[in-house]
Amino acid sequence: MYLPAPSFVNSGDNSWQLTAATLVGLQSIPGLAILYGGLVKRKWAVSSALFAIYAFAAVLVVWVLGGFTAAFGHPLLGSVVGIPQPVLGALSEERRASIPLLVGLMPKFAFPEATLIYFQFVFAAIAPVILAGAVFGRMNLRAWMLFVPLWSLAVYSVNAFMIWGGGWLSQLGVVDYSGGYVIHVAAGISGFVAALVVGPRTDQDQRDFKPNNMLLAIAGAGILWLGWNGFNGGDPYFAGSDAAAAVLNTNLATAVALLAWFFLDLNFNRKLSVAGAINGMICGLVAITPAAGYVDGLGALLVGLLGAAIPWYTMNRLSGRLPFRRVDDTLGVVHTHFLAGAVGGIMVGLVANPAMVVYPGLGSAKGVAVAGLLYGNPGQLPVQLLGLLVVSAYSGAMTVGILKLVSLFVPLRLAGPALEVGDRFLFNEEVFELHHPVPVPEAIEVPGSPVPDSQRAPVPG
């Protein structure tokens, strides 16, 4: 069937947007799935990957049934959330024009609505995958299956509308280039709260939770790093100069953050760690996300440095103190995502450079550039702090409510035997087999393995 391209489509922009979306999708599947599978204890490797795979699929269904228009549609409750509607019918230019995504703030999209829906989906999908890192090793998969679609619709879509969809936070001036608040702060605080509500891992797992495969974790981390080029490079929505600057800033901040974590480990912990390097890398990626197209190279360097140093300090020096002491956050999501995302969002209010023009403007649409405190705009910092406070409070409170609702139908925690055995008990599968038991012939008695009398070989008489 031949479908002619609508007149507004620019093939270059459309190609880049679909490519960027695919890169972001690869961050979840297989990126985070295999990163988690390598970082967790061997007995939880399969279930941790399954949490990620399920979330990716479930969010897509929720997204096209109502999540997308809740995030980017016409307002339902004032300027808090959009009207949830399915996006399953024929895609027309008229319906495309009915989505008030950043109305008046950017030029008309040069790609079809289907491209926009898919691009925004992969962002929605990665948020609960990130959240999952806080509850590995004890959360019931059935509870996770109910939690994900509810959280995606009630938390992610609402945050996206408030900041990206023309909601009240965006009207106040809060900016988030590519999801530092909408994705990482929301997922980080939600994971922290979920870990508190679900409860801790077993004492044994808390004492001994060594990664089972660091090379696998490195492979996942590498996919995450390079996939982030689509994460931040796709958010200008056209293949222009700001997309290139955002990609360069992303890699610079990440490199600085990784090296900063290395030096902090070496100088204060007296040892280097591959897991630490991965944490530093993730902090850099997360911290630059809300700022990537708003800051210049110097700003990116500062974002990477502080985006790693602050989470390093909280993870290495404050983990045994309140509020962190009471919460068993399996992979430290509150440090690497919530705090790193918060740092990046606040840094926008400090070092955003108005010379970084994100959208040059087209026709009646205004161009978009953001200035921080150091560039003569003291008003941006307080609104960034307000956005951080609102997203954190709303996401945390809603997560508690959703988990309490889910607990009315299924237990949030796994039962005792599943907690002790892990994947082998849950799925009769493990990340790899350590041995292959050989059946013992019935008539042969193996020392140390008593054979029932009925199966003993007859004694010659």
Write out pLDDT tens, residues 412-433: 999 989 999 999 998 888 887 7
- Domain covering 16-83+104-427, topology: Ammonium transporter fold (1.10.3430)
User: pLDDT band at 449, cuts 50/70/90?
Assistant: very low
Buried/exposed 119-148: b ≥16 CB within 10 Å, e otherwise = bbbbbbbbbbbbbbbbbbbbbbeebbebbb
Averaged confidence pLDDT in the chain: 89
- Looking at the DSSP bridge assignments, the partners of residue 294 are none
| Beta bridge partners of residue 446, listed in sequence order | 449
Which amino acid, one-letter code, is at 416?
Answer: G
Confidence band, pLDDT 50/70/90 cuts, at residue 188: very high
Q: Quick one: pLDDT at residue 167?
A: 92
The pLDDT assigned to 91 comes to: 54
Domain ranges for the chain, please list them: 16-83+104-427
Residue 279 DSSP symbol: H
**Which tokens sit at 342?**
């918060």
Peptide bond into 30 cis (omega under 30): yes
Distance, in Å, from the CA atom of 63 to the CA atom of 155, rounded to the nearest integer, reads 13
Residue 456 has pLDDT above 60, yes or no: no
Which of 428, 422, 412 is closest to 144 using CA atoms? 412
- 136 pLDDT higher than 60: yes
Can you tell me the distance from the alpha carbon of 232 to that of 241, in angstroms, rounded to the nearest whole number? 13
Write the pLDDT tens digit of every residue in 344-401. 999 999 999 999 988 765 555 566 889 999 999 999 999 999 999 999 999 999 999 9
